[in-house]
Homo-oligomer: A and B are copies of this chain.
Amino acid sequence: MYRTDKFREECGVMGVYGHPEAAKIAYLGLYALQHRGQESAGIVCSDGESLRIFKSMGQISEIFTEPVLQSLPGRLAIGHTRYSTAGDTTLVNAQPLMVDCNKGALALGHNGNLVNAIGIRARLERKGSIFQTNSDTEVLLHLLAESRCRSVPEALSEALRQVEGAYSIVMLTRDRLIAVRDPRGFRPLSMGRLDGGVVFASETCAFDLIGAAYDSEVEPGEMVVVDGAGVTRMRFTEPQPPAFCVFEHVYFSRPDSVVFGRPVHQSREMLGRLLARESPVEADIVVPVPDSGVSAALGYSIESGIPLKFGLIRNHYVGRTFIEPRQSIRDFGVKLKLNPVRTILEGQRVVLVDDSIVRGTTSRKIVRMIREAGAREVHMRVSCPPTISSCFYGVDTPTERELIAARHTIDEIRAHVNADSLAYLSLEGLRTAVADTDRRYCNACYTGKYPTELVNIELESGLAKRR
């Protein structure tokens, strides 16, 4: 597979309570969340008596056929879609995880990453626990089973108080649906209403497809329990300073979602506008790197008055694998996805707007393609600050060694991608664009300052590698 040089979100979650076809609703929700993970997916449902699971490698529409959904009856369901990282493509790590324990049968889908999972896992293994996945999520299930608390919500609370990091979780028992968000609220999780029932989703675009009405955010540090007694909302831990992932607004989330209470498209257009204000350039056209760069490019165009042109066309029929001729075609992988339009670019001074430069390899190829299509100048504008640090909170980032901005100045990067000029949005601009007036966002990937202490300590002591 030709991968674009982008960060990859690792998960999307769905929860459904009180719908006669809960698994189908979960499936549709996952379908809308597919940009958050397209390599495996699973659904667990409950008919009030027992849990049933189906998970598989592949895309939602291939995995969940009519017979599969028929085999998942009941009014409660949770769903999960994820990327698998390299070397970890076995189905065994797909979620939701489903187990039997002293709290009964339960299933859990997790978006995020626990930063102290390794330490807890070591303790649990010493104690005699066995682990069947590589997933930090399994640690949580062990802690839950370990708890002396009788009720699942209490036991889960106790377990969660032992972990640190990012988690938006949906959990299913025989007769309960539980949704949880970590105390800093790294990853999004919203609650909605559908035909008298309750639904949860990583992004509100899932509600739109299933026809659910948005109700509220699951708040940082909040646990929402839905069962026969209705909806119970509670805090399971002390409040902590919020740390919403700003990259959800910059790149991950769909523009039609409302994330952390703010419309994503609004942030994105504003990123482009502020970028134009901060780093104007004399040019003839603004060209986005589609699809993710379009909103920012539109903002740049509006603010600068330079006309927007679709000078790169994206091919949407890209399959999983491609066969390249032996005498290989230059920039083949990028060309399969993007084609420069000579009749737009020829002789022009181009502002090329993208939402990130990770390794720099793809940007370099795109700039070259644009030049070969006749552009006179290429001014690259990136709608966020330089990415200098790895994420420990659920985003699949390259190691710092691979992050071009971690080891190079902006001018070196400019030279590498061979642009006439290069500018990134400032951190201040980013905060303004997402309306982060009260410092509720995590910007660690741009600053190296992590909101959880463990990460900072481990990084300093060399225990944690900057992945």
Interface residues, chain A, with chain B CB atoms under 8 Å away: 20-21, 24-25, 27-28, 31-32, 34-35, 38, 53-54, 59-62, 64-66, 69, 90-92, 97-102, 125-132, 141-142, 144-146, 195, 205, 208-211, 254-256, 258, 263, 265-266, 291, 294-295, 298, 302, 307-310, 313, 315-327, 329-330, 335-336, 339-341, 343-344
Contacts and interface: CB of A to CB of B under 8 A. Distances in A.
A65 B21 CA distance: 27
**Majority secondary structure of chain A interface residues (helix, strand, loop or mixed):** mixed
Contacts of A130: 99-101, 129, 141-142, 144-145
Contacts of A211: 329-330
A343 B38 CA distance: 27
Contacts of A205: 313, 339
A336 B31 contact: yes
A73 B302 CA distance: 52
Contacts of A69: 323
Nearest to A373: B208
B209 A131 contact: no
B298 A310 contact: yes
Contacts of A144: 130
Given A146-B128, A255-B310, A327 B21 contact: yes
Contact of A32 (B21, B100, B142, B315): B315
B61 A317 contact: yes
Specify how many copies of this chain sit in the oligomer.
Answer: 4
B294 A64 contact: no
The 9 tightest CB contacts between A and B, nearest first, are: A61-B319, A263-B343, A256-B313, A128-B146, A99-B130, A34-B317, A101-B130, A100-B131, A256-B341
Contacts of A294: 310
Contacts of A307: 302
A319 to B, nearest CB: 3
Contact of A341 (B62, B126, B255): B255
Contacts of A318: 61
B128 A102 contact: yes
Given A24-B325, A211-B329, 10 more contacts: A28-B325, A28-B329, A31-B322, A91-B91, A99-B130, A99-B132, A100-B125, A209-B339, A254-B339, A298-B309
Name the residue among A32, A35, A132, A302 with the largest chain B CB count within 10 angstroms: A132
A265 B346 CA distance: 14
A336 to B, nearest CB: 7
Contacts of A125: 100-102, 145
A104 B146 CA distance: 21
Contact of A59 (B99, B256, B295, B319): B319
